[in-house]
Chains A and B, each alone.
Chain A
Amino acid sequence: MSGSGAIERALERVLEGFAAGQKAALARAVSIIEDQREGHERLAATIHPKLGRARRLGLTGPPGAGKSTLTTLLAEAYLAAGMKVGVVAVDPTSPFTGGALLGDRVRMERVALHPNVFIRSMATRGSLGGLASMTREVCDVLDAFGMDRILVETVGVGQSELDIARLADTSAVILVPESGDAIQTLKAGVMEIADCFVVNKADRPGADRLRNDIEVMLGLRGGGGPAPDAHHGIDLKAVNPKRQAREAAARDDDRWTPPVLRTIGATGEGMPEFIAALDRHFAYLERSGTLQSRRRERLRDRVRDVVEHRIHRRLWRDEGIQQWVEAQLPALERGEVTPFTVAEALLARSVAAGTFTGSPT
């Protein structure tokens, strides 16, 4: 077959280009991982020793909250500081057609041509949450390429917040004054995973109220009604001294209290505070050992995924096993055996026997 030799050579070229810092090679490496194309395991193995340099930041929140706008502003700041920045923007795949419209780049134009940025749009494809199943692996590729920061944008739809927490070092939940009513529904999942809350579109009415509600929910503040609403044009940086004291205390502590920030996408107001909060969180992660435990968790997950993938492949691609399962169907139909007893028998005879190949006789 001419195929495998050609694939081997193509992979070789990708690895060379990748090592040389070429974006086209990085882009192809991402595709190989995302699509699980032939050679993906070798690619993943090659990049593994280079992991761990990048800080992975997740931005999630409802549609239109300003995630892409804030992602761009963060990228801009990091680029200005001389860093290399990778962006992964995830949008949902249509469950009906399998297609997706990925439009986050429109908002990222300002940084798109910078030599030190790489932006990739991903569709969720088959995965359940809002997060593409290969997002974590794609982040690995960007990390190994030498990115200092990786920004992952996902639309928050329940489950995805949990997914993003699994892949990011720091997760920021972006809300807007309009999401005020939705705050109760956020309580369940989001509260646990958010390392930082951002009330964007703070130029709109209700921002301070939302911020107050979130703080009440986090137990940062008694339910004594909303803070007086700041008027447009008032200096947003004038912080309440009590809050300052509280944040200082949180900083010294070994516990992290998620700050609740406010930003305006169009002007960039509040961005220095957002960036500082992300840095503080990372310092906390390092100091408390949480960074190491989260990253270990990620590696453990990764090993599990690979094991599951392999078991799956070996079991269900084995003709003997398939035939054996087929042969059980009449007994299953007659109710003489159950799916559980069949599965038990199959696992006992293949996995426990130390081999996945060959039929369980």
Chain B
Amino acid sequence: MSRPIRVLVAKPGLDGHDRGAKVVAAALRDAGMEVIYTGLHQTPEMIASAAVQEDVDVVGLSILSGAHMTLFPRVLQLLREQGRDDVLITGGGIIPKEDMDALEQQGIAKLFGPGTPTTALIEYIRAWFAARQAQGA
């Protein structure tokens, strides 16, 4: 029997509401995943520490503040420092295409723009997880 995919959903940065992140969290839960929701104003340190302790497969960040070019790489770096270079770091927000490409170069996974249906994210996570399990990781 396969185990549920574990996903951390966090909303870093200082901007006010977490409606988007909550919608994503609920959609992932409805897709059969175990979603650890950590709420607003998360620093990269808090996100990485929670991701390590919860031993998640995926970290999903919702970033609207424009700070994606610093936040994503910082979370990635902190996870690597703790030996968790196997985590899929994905997310969404208002992120220009060239930034998405630049982040992908650094090891961040696919990012989703505003208005993307949550089913796209779900499919993406499932496909990634299935491929990784098949590798016997």
List chain A positions with a Cβ less than 8 A from chain B. Answer: 2-3, 6-7, 17, 22-24, 26-28, 30-31, 35, 37, 93-94, 97-103, 105-106, 109, 112-113, 118-121, 123, 125
Contacts and interface: CB of A to CB of B under 8 A. Distances in A.
A99 B31 contact: yes
A105 B136 contact: no
Nearest to A30: B55
A113 B3 contact: no
Contact of B38 (A30, A105, A120, A125): A105
Given A27-B55, A97-B31, 18 more contacts: A17-B83, A22-B83, A23-B52, A24-B83, A24-B84, A28-B55, A30-B55, A37-B3, A93-B34, A94-B30, A97-B30, A98-B4, A100-B34, A102-B34, A102-B35, A109-B46, A112-B50, A113-B45
Contact of B36 (A23, A24, A102): A102
B53 interface: yes
Interface in B44-58: 45-46, 49-50, 52-55
A6 B136 contact: yes
B55 A100 contact: no
B22 to A, nearest CB: 9
A99 B38 contact: no
Contacts of A109: 38-39, 46
Given A35-B3, A113-B45, A121-B54, A105 B36 contact: yes
A2 B83 CA distance: 22
A98 B28 CA distance: 11
Contacts of A100: 4, 29, 34-35
Contacts of B82: 22-24
Contact of B49 (A2, A35, A112): A112
28 contacts: A3-B136, A6-B136, A22-B82, A23-B52, A23-B53, A23-B82, A24-B55, A24-B82, A27-B52, A28-B55, A94-B29, A94-B30, A97-B30, A97-B32, A98-B4, A98-B32, A99-B4, A99-B28, A99-B30, A99-B33, A100-B29, A101-B37, A102-B36, A105-B39, A112-B46, A112-B50, A118-B53, A120-B53
Contacts of B63: none
Nearest to A17: B83
A27 B86 CA distance: 14
Nearest to A98: B32
A119 B51 CA distance: 10
B48 to A, nearest CB: 10
B102 interface: no
Contacts of A101: 25-26, 29, 35, 37
Nearest to B51: A27
A7 B133 CA distance: 13
Contacts of B46: 109, 112-113
Contact of A2 (B28, B30, B39, B136): B136
A118 B49 CA distance: 9
Q: For B25, B28, B33, which residue has the most chain A Cβ atoms within 10 angstroms? A: B33
Contacts of B39: 103, 105-106, 109
Contacts of A121: 34, 36, 54
A12 to B, nearest CB: 14
A314 to B, nearest CB: 18
Nearest to A126: B1
A243 to B, nearest CB: 39
A114 to B, nearest CB: 10
Interface string B71-93: 00000000000111000000000
A26 B25 CA distance: 25
Contacts of B84: 24
